[in-house]
Amino acid sequence: MASDNIFSGLKVVDFASFIAGPGAAVILSDFGADVIKVEPPTGDTWRIGYKVPPQPRAEDNYPWHLNNRNKRGLTLNLKSPEARGVLQRLVEWADVLIVNTPHPAREKLQLGYDDVAAWNPRLIYADVTGYGDSGPDAQLPGFDITAYWARSGLLSLTRDAGAPPTLPVSGSGDHATAVSLYSAIVTALYRRERTGKGSYVTTSLLACGVWACAVSNQAALADAAFYPLHDRANPPNATFNVYRASDNIWFVIVLTPDKWPLFANGIGRADLLIDPRFADPAKQAANSAQLTSILDETFAAQPMAYWHDIFAQAHLTFGVVHSPSEVVKDPQLRTNDIVVPLEGAGEHLDFTVSSPLNVHGVAKVPARRAPGLGEHNAEILRELGFGPEDIEGLQANGAVPTAGVHVA
């Protein structure tokens, strides 16, 4: 790897499964870290995630490559007594160890912080859980929809009045949590630079969800009076609302009061400026249903391209509601390296979503496909100091099962 990669030489062992933990490792890999993805003999369950409804169906295993690109693959059966020696050498080799195994299972596998920290005093042990390290529900299994979304308050608020809670976008809470775990790891690495000591860092899906919903949760802490759930036809503020153009494209506008004259003139409704019902923000709020109805009629008269130009020329804040198929065609993504080329992932998978962090003047590592199951077993074992006979023995006793190279 190029020497100007920020994390060139940083060694990471990723024992985590699914998305949040592996996602944090991906960010480290994007900046040059050497990441070993350790899986049980049956593989990370996320390898089959794209086959489970309601995940979009595809020929190529897109979520596996997204969350495990740039890594090397090792299979390790921690239930095998002989695997203990491999685990010890991995920990001694590593700067960062990432885990998300539930704590009861982790204790049985002797993969906890107290089990491994003595092997490497400089180790950054990074742990992501569903609901936190302690408390009555610390041992509950958690996914992003249950811990990040449902329990945090987000799922309660992200719906319109009269509608039941709905399923959020898959992995959205996991990827937000991945950034938080990455931040904890980097904070601990900085501490290690100053003290020489390793750290045990944690985050949880719940903590990250509560943080994402922190404005509303802080309001609740202040005993604030909440508005009812959003009603598009009768919102608290008609200039902070979703509307539809004549070509059936939805968009959202977000206006501050000082933009009201620009907005009204721009959409060809200067008459609204002299309408006493909308003379100031308080009156607009009191008559929001009427203003929304007027704006519905106005916006339904022209296609989105027309309104896009009007809003852009007036420097008004708006956002067109895009589907994923439209998002990936947005030129902003490639211009800003939000979507980047992906090497070797499959016939139909030439690009991937990059991690959201950038350091100007520092290029990220070119993205390459995720590893097959145990693809680099022998290579990694040799680096850890195991000889040919040792490797044969580990394969024979099942501690490091013979590798396959399939991705799915």
What whole-number distance in Å separates Cα of residue 335 and Cα of residue 5? 21
> Do the Cβ atoms of 321 and 242 come closer than 8 Å?
yes
**Smallest Cα–Cα separation from 67: which of 116, 112, 17, 31?**
17
61 in a structural domain? yes
Residue 35 backbone phi and psi in degrees, to 5: -110, 125
User: Is the domain of 129 the same as that of 257?
Assistant: no
Structure tokens, 213: 């919903």
221 in a structural domain? no
Average pLDDT over residues 22-29: 98
Amino acid letter, residue 20: A
pLDDT at 406 over 60: no
Q: What confidence category does residue 402 fall into, taking pLDDT thresholds of 50, 70 and 90?
A: confident
User: Is the domain of 196 the same as that of 298?
Assistant: no
User: Is the domain of 163 the same as that of 69?
Assistant: yes
Structural domains in the chain (count): 2
262-301 pLDDT per residue, tens: 999 999 999 999 999 999 999 999 999 999 999 999 999 9
User: Is the domain of 191 the same as that of 137?
Assistant: yes
User: Is the domain of 163 the same as that of 59?
Assistant: yes
Domain coverage including residue 315: 240-325
pLDDT at 2 over 80: no
Q: Which of 273, 299, 325 is the last residue of a domain?
A: 325
CATH number assigned to the domain comprising residue 166? 3.40.50.10540
44 in a structural domain? yes
Q: How many CB atoms lie within 10 A of CB 246?
A: 13
219 in a structural domain? no
Strands 34-39 and 240-244: unpaired
User: Is the domain of 154 the same as that of 287?
Assistant: no
Average pLDDT over residues 381-392: 97
- Burial (CB < 10 A; 0-12, 13-18, 19+), residue 360, is exposed
pTM: 0.94
Q: How many CB atoms lie within 10 A of CB 76?
A: 25
- What DSSP string runs through 191-213? HHHHH---EEEEEEHHHHHHHHT
CATH number assigned to the domain comprising residue 252? 3.30.1540.10
228 in a structural domain? no
305-353 pLDDT per residue, tens: 999 999 999 999 999 999 999 999 999 999 999 999 999 998 899 999 9
232 in a structural domain? no
Q: What confidence category does residue 404 fall into, taking pLDDT thresholds of 50, 70 and 90?
A: low
What are the residues whose beta carbons fall under 8 Å from the beta carbon of 118, sequence distance 6 or more?
none
Q: How far is it between the farthest Cα atoms of the chain?
A: 88
